[in-house]
Amino acid sequence: MSKCEQDMPTEQKVKFYQTGTFTVGNRLLDEEFRTVQATQERSNSIDSGHRACQGCGQALGARYALDAAMRATDNHIIAANATGCLEVFTTPYPETAWSIPWIHSLFGNAAAVVSGIAARLKAEGDTQTRVVAQGGDGGTTDIGLGCLSGMFDRNDDVLYICYDNGGYMNTGVQRSSATPGGARTATTMPVGEHPGSSFNTGKFLPSIAMAHEIPYVATASVHDLHDLERKVEKAMSFRGSRYIHINVPCPLGWGSEPALTIKLARMGVECGLVPLFEAESGELTASTKIRYQIPVEDYLKLQRRFSHVLKPANSDELEAIRALAQKNIRRFNLR
């Protein structure tokens, strides 16, 4: 059974939604089963006039996630934001692009700030209003990990969303602990014996979140909106800490064409480097299968940050990236 079939209610199954099943909308689908983004009434949590680069994956991922959370809560969402691109491009004085109550405090404290908001709601007995924290990969996997781990430990009623673009893009593309091995950044240049970012043992935050045994952990990608929205809505059906890790291509940091943002997100998933899965209380419960598997090279060659990896002299790096894709496919049961 294909993925779309699983997601469709029984009476909508099999025969009737071939035309653009994976598109944002589908005129043949019942309204209630279309994505939030397909609706004219969507909340546009981040609205026009923001200053994200052309083709910003994060601007898209954030609107997708927040709008889905808004629908799931009947528009009762408060969001906190770590310092980073998303914060900078949405709220330069005197203009904010957010249409929801939103706070930015610091780089490393979004999880704690949002826990504070949740604590106030708890003290008030307000069970309707829900909170979402957002950070980039640096703000989440590096500087913000302490606060985030604390939030997981307390099982505060928070959805934390990490928009992973694989580096500190706002400060000019430096390496974070989420930068993929081999990738060029301003602090891991393609020079020396092992060009690009080191292949460390890894700091894959979804696994770290799972180790906290919080109610729900999921990974998502901006190329598959149905999958992403379903995960956000599912996350909102739980109480306690929830974590969603969204892969968001960054044309600036990746050296890719702005128009290819969604294509790259898709290719990342289809080559196995970006596994999409869900876990509940620490246990893997579902994987989104790869639809058309592609070689990692097809994905890498569209990004200048990997251009050196494709040179014959750096075949070790390419081999290591291939191996990671294979490991993901095995480990997360992606086929």
> What residues between 165 and 194 interact with other proteins by CB under 8 A?
none
List the one residue out of 113, 148, 146 whose CA is nearest residue 131.
113
Minimum CB distance to other proteins, residue 311 (Å):
27
Rule CB under 8 A: say whether 95 interacts with other proteins.
yes
Distance CA 260, CA 270 (A): 15
Which residue number, 103 or 286, has a Cβ lying nearer to other proteins? 103
Find the binder of other proteins among 23, 174, 187, 307 (CB under 8 A).
Answer: 23
Dig out the tokens for 197 from the structure.
């970012």
Residues 61-80 that bind other proteins (CB under 8 A): 63, 75-78, 80
Which residue number, 16 or 189, has a Cβ lying nearer to other proteins? 16
Rule CB under 8 A: say whether 18 interacts with other proteins.
yes
For the chain, the first-to-last Cα distance in angstroms comes to 12
Rule CB under 8 A: say whether 114 interacts with other proteins.
yes
Task: Please state the φ and ψ torsions of residue 130, each to the nearest 5 degrees.
Answer: -120, 160
List the one residue out of 205, 221, 202 whose CA is nearest residue 327.
202
Distance CA 302, CA 304 (A): 7
Which residue number, 162 or 269, has a Cβ lying nearer to other proteins? 269
Find the binder of other proteins among 84, 85, 86, 115 (CB under 8 A).
Answer: 115
* CA distance to 111, 115, 198, per residue, from 262 (Å): 28, 32, 26
**H/E element, 21:** none
Which residue number, 311 or 335, has a Cβ lying nearer to other proteins? 335
Dig out the tokens for 260 from the structure.
């290819």
Rule CB under 8 A: say whether 82 interacts with other proteins.
no
Could you tell me how many residues of this chain bind other proteins (CB under 8 A)?
97
Minimum CB distance to other proteins, residue 331 (Å):
24
Please state the separation of Cα 48 from the chain's center in Å.
21
Dig out the tokens for 261 from the structure.
């943002």
Rule CB under 8 A: say whether 26 interacts with other proteins.
yes
Rule CB under 8 A: say whether 91 interacts with other proteins.
yes
Window contacting other proteins (CB under 8 A); options: 22-30, 134-142, 281-289, 303-311: 22-30
